[in-house]
Amino acid sequence: DEPAGSDGEAKAMEITIATPHPNNEKDPVYIYCKTFADLVTEKTEGRITFDIQGDSVLGDDVEIAEGLTLGTLDMGITSNAAISGYDPAHQLYALPFLFDDDEQANAFIDSDIAAEMNQGLESKGMKVMSILDGGSRQSLNTKKTIKAMADFKGMKWRVPPMDLFTDTFNALGANATPMSGAEVFTGLQQGTIDGCEFPVSSIYSMQLYTAAKYIDMTNHMFAAWYMCTSDDLWNKLSAEEQEIFSEAAKAANEASRKAQMESVESQLAEIEKAGADVEA
């Protein structure tokens, strides 16, 4: 297909954004999607509109990444774990205790080094628009408070499908079990797994605290979420539309980071109010 507008006529389109996250107005990932969509629609005078499909309706993070590479999905939010299956360099974000805090992580995300890493995914069929701050990852389980590394020993621990996660938790003495995020809640309820780890925003939005009482603020890894377009979609856009997408992505990421920072304290308060045992 020729880029939109190359024949002198602007082509209208509706673009689906697939995400594993819920369409919850307080969720930082949804805030990103909504901000991005609204800005692009405004700047294109309604020519480009969006349909945000949350809650893994169009697949989990692994399936979304695959859909982007195949061109069966136009846009999607996918995880660092799924992205790393296409380029192992992106496992960097999951190195244990690499960043002191989210501010340091975001400074790296905005660096030239990260931009060069993102370009490496274009040969896989994905164009990275933004890497979102998903917050530091925390531990939660159905058995006990984690007070020392030895407390992980023997626990059936869900990890994302990435070797670095598996190796880290096996090294801690847990029995690491790769599993899709969509299966975690049921796994905790049924005892298939004893524990898992997610950033606070995911623990809250997925209501995992209702299935696992013990939550420990281990801050062991950084959660990076990738907003990508397929190469097929990107190449259909005119140069002007590509610029609009890029500027909207920057503004949306700023809004998402602000929401991420503000949400953690209030979400932890609600999690504790629901009866979970939260330990710093």
Contact 109, 225 (CB under 8 A): no
Measured N-to-C along each axis, helices 28-43 and 239-273 cross at an angle, to the nearest 10 degrees, of 150
pLDDT tens-place string over residues 77-105: 999 989 999 999 998 998 998 998 889 99
- State residue 12 phi and psi, 5-degree precision: -75, 145
Least confidently predicted of 46-50, 72-76, 161-165, 214-218: 161-165
Pairing of strands 195-199, 214-216: unpaired
Mean pLDDT of the region 162-188: 93
Contact 228, 76 (CB under 8 A): yes
Pairing of strands 126-141, 195-199: antiparallel
Contact 68, 78 (CB under 8 A): yes
Mean pLDDT of the region 19-28: 88
**Which DSSP letter does residue 54 get?**
-
Least confidently predicted of 1-10, 20-29, 41-50, 208-217: 1-10
What is the reported pLDDT for 9?
Answer: 60
Q: CA 132 to CA 255: how far, in whole Å?
A: 10
User: pTM value?
Assistant: 0.82
